[in-house]
Amino acid sequence: LEQPDLADVTIVGPLGEARPAHMLLLSYHSEFFRRAFTSDFKEGQKGERTLKLGFEDPAGGWREGDGRL
Q: Residue 17: its pLDDT value, please?
A: 87
Q: Identify the bridge partners of residue 21 per DSSP, sorted by sequence position.
A: 9
Distance CA 37, CA 50 (A): 10
Calpha distance 33→25 (Å, rounded): 9
Q: Count other Cβ atoms within 10 Å, centred on residue 12.
A: 15
Q: Is the dihedral of CA 68, 40, 28, 4 positive or negative?
A: negative
Prediction pTM value: 0.62
pLDDT at residue 28, as a whole number: 93
Tens digits of pLDDT across the chain (69 residues): 567 777 889 988 888 888 899 988 999 999 988 888 887 766 566 666 888 887 665 565 555 555 554
pLDDT of residue 69: 47
Residue 49: the pLDDT is: 81
